[in-house]
Structure 1
Amino acid sequence: MSLKFFDKLSQNFIELLNDKEEYNVIIEVENKEKSFTAHSNVLKFRSSYFRRELENIQPNENNIKIIIKLSISAQIFNVILQYIYGGIVDLENCETRFIYDLMLVADEFEFEELSNKLETLLIETKGSWLRTHFSLIYHFIFSRTNFKKLENFCNDIVVKYPNLIFDTDDFTSLEESALVSLLKRNDLQMEEIKIWDYIIKWGIAQTSTLPTNLDDWTKENFLALKTTLQQCLPHIRYFHLSSIEVLDKIEPYKKILDKQIWKEINQPLIAPERPVKSIILPPRSVLVTELPPRAEESFSAIISEEHAAEISTWIDRKTTAYTLTNIPYKFELILRATRDGFAPQTFWNLCRDHTRTVVIIKVKGTDEIVGGYNPSAWDDDYIYKWVITYDSFIFSLKNGNIQNSIISRVKDPLYAIFKYDKKNKHYGPRFGLDFEMYSNKSKVALDSRCCCRNKSIYYEKPIRASTLSEYFSIIDYEVFKIVKKTT
């Protein structure tokens, strides 16, 4: 029998990390603007990467070894150290981009366990973000060798929608491994002759010495292209091309093909009964061209359809509440912080110029859902300007331990919405002086500076209990555009 006490062990190692007396390593990050102290024995035994680094560094006059990682942020490296020493990675309130970047750094430091866990987490819980940032991710992950699950995730999308990659301006910068992985797929939804055109385009772009005019190509030029495309050419389905396609498209480049292949793809015209020695790959299958269904995802990570019906009732000032069957509006998601980011500037980037929007906030540590409706446009082209609206309101919604919803309509329309200039990096949406999103750290989930006043100012009444602090932190927030249904 083994008695295991990992929690206490983790705690003690975190205490060791925080002890500034016995360290013998300094790691400088973020362009040398931030530094961390550590212990060489811990780093070496936890990471083969750090073992190699430390073996190649000479200590200074104080017997301290200094490791410099200019491109890594202090926030990410702090999480890495917490993992090294305590086996703990706290991702609460982390933006999805932070998790993605952390995964890349974990891979760089050869923490396979951590990078694999983060890769799985992204695929299983952040699929919407991955699709939104598809091009960024796809062009990068194939430059590494350890993200097979993400490669498959992306390729499952590309085979259905090849234009996401093949029709982009940076197609020719695609990693060879990425292109080959697509060519191997039997379910790539593209005509075979178009696939041929694209790999020729890609191959020519990689072979800079080729003349522009094909008529000017020498034997050496064709050989150079053949060498460039040696990993791609075996995956073309030559025997499923029409005779016209072979004549018009393949024949001009026949010198890059093996003689056996070129002879046999023409053989059906001359001796159709003669057996073929070359490997005949199966034709690519035709699939139903749909992206992974978004219907499986709720329209909101915070509110329910019942909440949407209630908010719609308030917007239309109805005395009889809308039901799930007669909601007159669609709630179109513009921003989700856990997907798009918590920085106030993200709000202005994504919501600028949108009218008729609802801001929804999930408060940290309670069951509260609070928010506000703004019928006017959000924009930050002003310097501290009040905007008049007669129909804006703020609210809290029934949820969990919260027994009743509260709506608070604007009572002083001259001070309904407050807007800021573009240089202000701390404010998000603000309803009068009664409800606002703000952060000193430029991420509204990192400090408790979001606010609902305990007393009425420009709106009818407070939307939170007077016993609670006016200031709070958040788990997530969303912004929806309210669009009238057409039917």
Structure 2
Amino acid sequence: MDHIQEFLIKYCHDFLKQDSVKMLHVVTRHEAFSELKKVSLETICENPDLLFGSDKFFSLEEDVLTMILKCGNLNMDEGIIWDRLIKWGIAQHPKFKSDVTKFTNEDFETLKKTLHELLQFVRFHQIDKEQFITKVWPFRRLLPDNLIEDILRCHLVPSAAPLYIFLIRNWSTIYSIDSVLMNKEIAKLFIKWIDKKSGDNKKRSKNNRYEFNLLFQRSRDGLTSQAFHQKCDNKGATIIVGKVSNSNRLVGGYNPLDWNGNGQYKDTTDSFIFSLDNLNDPQQSSKIGRVNHNHSTNAIYCHNGYGPTFGGGHDLYAPNNNNYWQFNTNSYANINVSGSVSISDYEAFQIVKKN
């Protein structure tokens, strides 16, 4: 049995990717798999989409779902946890209508009983106000009135402390982020790219934590390249995030070095550029272009008269005092963005890794 468990532990991520629900049901029902159970939970907490994004998620047994929600390091936005939990509860009752506005009093009471034990593990005060209104408010009848009032009070009065204390979910990869363009799900995707992690990469970095320090915001600091360099030079690794005008598309790039220098190319194989179209599902809508190794000497271009610029050619170039970024596939893999692209705003973050 030991050698079987060792084999399963070694390829735990692969087995969870194939059928996370079946594997969790097995390892939680047999004491002999205690070590595999521990590794499986750690893997799910680090990569929750393996379970919550599975088409078999709705068949997960309640006790297993409870065990996962109890984890303090589940690396998942609380609003998304709530959304998946509600959909899980509804899936247990196939006769429910898909439109919540058509729910009867009996439907709400049934759903409330189904989710009664699970709701206590949702950190409602960590759900932002937009998600609260769009995701939680339609199902407010599932929650006690005093809890709803307390959440509203905290959203309306930012300095107010919650009267109902819940455990704070410990984000395993992100300390904090101050951004008008991206959310934590996007930041977590960036971290995977920075760590060069993928579903097939067994390198674990669960003890690594990151700070995203906002250095520059075009709408706040202006269009000039001088303003960019004044804020971002001598700051080490940075990630640039720009929003394409009149769309939900984000584009940008990661510089693992710095922006110091005037008319100087810098050599690295760790930089990348990217585009993504769906802010709520960045993993599925993203395109990353890593620097080609034979072009690594031209990976980053630093110039006082230029904003952030990647690659020889250039693959991504932010001109001085101009809303239009230029894209030209040369030193990086293609991200399906080319020519002149209007950018409504962009931000630059210093990336600080904490071990």
Structure-2-length-normalised TM-score? 0.45
Structure-1-length-normalised TM-score? 0.33
Higher relative contact order (CA 8 A, sep 6+): 2
